[in-house]
Structure 1
C-alpha cells in the first residue's frame, strides 16, 4: 500500500478573490485577497489539496519556503504526516521553526490529510473521530474602513442569511467611535444576535479597558486581540478590571502563549490558526491543552478546514465565516440557520476550480 500512496509530485497555484476596494482593520490595510493552493499528487493518481490565505504579503518569501521544502517530501506516504513534520522542523531549525516555513509546512500537512482521506474514501472529521455533526458559525468582517452604511448592510445581511452572531473590527483612533459603531450594530441586529469585537492588536490597555466597560450594556460576547498578542500581563489586567470574555490565538505558532494566558486566567476562547500553528496535529494538540482548562476552541478564518476539526474535538465552540473562497471552489460549505456542516466528500471535501488557478513555477 505504501508505494501507491507516496507523494510523487507537487504543484503550486495562485487564486484571487474579488475585492471592490481596499479594506482595513486597526493594524492592516488589505489591497488583495489571494490564496496559494498546493496540490500533491500520489503515485496512485490521488491529488491532495490545500490552500493558505496570502493577501499581498511577502509573495517571494512564501513561494521560496515552498520551493525549499517541497522537494524533501517526495517519497513520503500520505499518512506519514508526523514524519514530514519532523523532517520540515529539522530543515527549518537554523533560520527558525516559526514564521514563513511553518505556513508552508501546514499547507503540506493539510494536503497530505486531504490525500489520505481521499484514499480512505472518508471525510477528515470521520477519520479523526466525530464529536458533533455541525457547529455554530459567525459572520466576520465589520472592517474599520467601512462606512456606517457598509457596516450595517453587512451585519444585516448575515442575520438575513440565518447567522446568529457577527464580529466587527474595533481599534479606531478614538474608542468612542468604536462604541458608537457597536451601538448601531446592536440596533441593527437586535438582542438575539451575539456581537463580538476584534481589535487586531491595535489598542492600548487603557483604551481597551474603557471600551470594554462602556460596551457592557451592549452584551459583547467576546473581545478579540485588543492588545499585542504577547502582552500576557496586559490581558490579565484587562480581564480583572472589566470581566469581559477574551479571545486570542490566531497569531501563535505554538502553545506557549496559550499556557501563559491559561495560567493567568486571561483567556476564555482559544482561536488557533491552522496555517500558523503548523499542522492538523498541532491544532488538535492545542485544542486538547485548552480543553484541560475547560476553554473552548473557536479557530481563526479557515472554515472549510476548521468545521471538520471543530467537529472532531470535545471543546469545539464554532467557526469564523468569510465567503472569500466560496466562488473559487467546487463545493461551498453548507451554512444554514447559524450552523456550518462538514463537507461530505472524502478528504476535506472540496477543491479549487482549475480554471481559476494560475500555476506558480518554483
Structure 2
C-alpha cells in the first residue's frame, strides 16, 4: 500500500487508466422485414372527409434486427400509414450495408453515416424515415447490453407516463360508438381521451365535442385533433368556440408546415396548441420551436429518423419550456417520455399489439415502463405471418 498527503490509502496494484482502442464490438448481421398490419375497419379523419386521402385500411412496418460479433442484438421499426412503406423498405435495403463492421456503441456516428448515404434523396421525409428502424434497433441493443429498460439507460424522471386514447374517436366512428369507446377506455384505466374533429360542418364537430365532454364530466383530460384541416380564419374562430370545453390541447388545427399560423394561434388562445407529428426531421421541429408555434410538441421517433434525433428534439423542447406528447408508437415513446423532465403525455393505440409477444401495463391513467431490458418487445408469430419481404446483410453470428 502507498499513502498520499491527504492520508488516503490507495492500492498500488490498481492499474492506471491507459490509452488504447475504444471499440469493443462490431455489427456483423442485419435483417430487414416489411410487413403490413391490417386494421379491423377502415379509418377516416378530416383529410379523408375533404378528399385529400383515402380511408386507412393497413399500416406498413419496416423492422430492423441487428446482431453483433459479441452476441448482442436489437430490434427497431419504422412505419407508414398509407403510401410509402415499400419505398422505405427499398431505401433501407440500399443503406443497410453501411452498418456492417461498425461499432454498435457509436449510434450518433452511424445515424449520420446512414443519413448521408441517402442524402441525395434529402434529409427529411422517406430518406430519414428509412434510417429509423436501424437507429431504434441500436438503442434497443445498447439498453439490452446494459441490462436496463431504455428509459433507465436514458435516465428516467418517472416510472409511468399519463396516457390518453385516440383510436376510439375517429370521424369514421358514429357518435354513439365514440361515447361507448370513451366509457370502455376509462374502465380500462386510460387517463385522457382524444377525438378527431375537422368535419366540413363545424357544427357537427361542436356537437361531438360537447357530447364527449358531458360524458367525461368536468376535469377529465380531453383533447381534439383537426389533422391540419382548417385555414387560419376557421381555426381562429372555431378554436375560440372550443375553449368552453376546457381542452387539454387542440391538435394540428393548421397545415403542419404553417409555422407562423400556429404561432399566432397559440399566442391568441388560452387552450394549448399541439403539433409536430407530421414533421420528419430535427431541423423541421427546430424551426417550429424557434417561432413558438406550439405549447405541446409531438415528435414521432420513427418519422424523424429514430431515437437519436428524437432526443435532440426533446432537449430543445425542454430548453424552451415546452410540453411533450409524442405521436403514435407507444412501444418506443413510453421510454422516451419517461426521460422527459416535465410530465408528458403518451398516446395509446392498441393497433400494434398483435405485432409483439409482450404487453404494456395501463393502470390508474398511466402507462408503466416495463422492467424488461431495452424497449422490451419481440416480434410475434403473427408479425412473421404478415411479413411480405425480407433481406439480410452480413453473416449471422
TM-score range, shorter chain: over 0.9
Query: Could you tell me which of 53, 77, 87 is aligned with 2:79?
Result: 53
Distance 1:256 1:47 in 2: 30
SS of alignment partner, residue 361 of structure 1: strand
Q: Per-residue deviation at 1:149? A: 2.1
Query: Could you tell me which of 251, 255, 259 is aligned with 1:232?
Result: 259
Single out whichever of 28-37 and 90-99 deviates more from structure 2: 28-37
**Over aligned residues, Cα RMSD in angstroms?**
2.0
Query: Could you tell me which of 363, 379, 390 is aligned with 1:352?
Result: 379
- Is this contact kept in 1: 2:25–2:104, CA < 8 A? yes
In the alignment, is residue 78 of structure 1 matched against residue 98 of structure 2? no
**What residue number does 2:118 align with?**
92
Query: Over residues 304-336 of structure 1, what are the superposed CA-to-partner deviations in whole Å (9 max), with x where a residue is unaligned?
Result: 111111111213412111001223211111111
- Is this contact kept in 1: 2:34–2:390, CA < 8 A? no
**What residue number does 2:308 align with?**
281
Q: Per-residue deviation at 1:81? A: 0.6
Distance 2:174 2:348 in 1: 21
- Is this contact kept in 1: 2:78–2:303, CA < 8 A? no
Q: Per-residue deviation at 1:178? A: 0.8
- Is this contact kept in 1: 2:189–2:365, CA < 8 A? yes
In the alignment, is residue 325 of structure 1 matched against residue 345 of structure 2? no
- Is this contact kept in 2: 1:4–1:42, CA < 8 A? no
Distance 1:249 1:106 in 2: 17
Single out whichever of 176-185 and 234-243 deviates more from structure 2: 234-243
**What residue number does 2:333 align with?**
306
- Is this contact kept in 2: 1:304–1:342, CA < 8 A? no
Q: Per-residue deviation at 1:359? A: 5.6
SS of alignment partner, residue 78 of structure 2: strand
| Alignment TM-score, normalising by the size of structure 2 | 0.86
- Is this contact kept in 1: 2:36–2:388, CA < 8 A? no
Q: Per-residue deviation at 1:52? A: 2.1
Query: Over residues 35-74 of structure 1, what are the superposed CA-to-partner deviations in whole Å (9 max), with x where a residue is unaligned?
Result: 2222112223333111223233223311111111111111
- What are the equivalent positions in structure 2 for 1:1-362 lying under 5 Å apart? 5-27=25-47, 28=53, 29-141=55-167, 142-357=169-384, 358=387, 360-362=389-391
Distance 2:23 2:313 in 1: 32
Q: Per-residue deviation at 1:268? A: 0.6
Query: Over residues 332-357 of structure 1, what are the superposed CA-to-partner deviations in whole Å (9 max), with x where a residue is unaligned?
Result: 11111111111211111111114531
Single out whichever of 194-203 and 56-65 deviates more from structure 2: 56-65
- Is this contact kept in 2: 1:334–1:340, CA < 8 A? yes
- Is this contact kept in 2: 1:11–1:359, CA < 8 A? no
SS of alignment partner, residue 103 of structure 2: coil
Distance 1:99 1:294 in 2: 27
SS of alignment partner, residue 89 of structure 1: helix
Distance 2:388 2:286 in 1: 40
SS of alignment partner, residue 172 of structure 1: coil
Query: Over residues 112-142 of structure 1, what are the superposed CA-to-partner deviations in whole Å (9 max), with x where a residue is unaligned?
Result: 1111222222111121112111111111131
SS of alignment partner, residue 67 of structure 2: strand
Gaps of 5+ in 1: none
- Is this contact kept in 1: 2:166–2:347, CA < 8 A? yes
The structure whose Rg is larger is 2
Q: Per-residue deviation at 1:226? A: 0.9
SS of alignment partner, residue 94 of structure 1: helix
Taking structure 1 as reference, are residues 355 and 24 closer, same or farther at Cα in structure 2, changes over 3 Å only? closer
Taking structure 1 as reference, are residues 253 and 349 closer, same or farther at Cα in structure 2, changes over 3 Å only? same
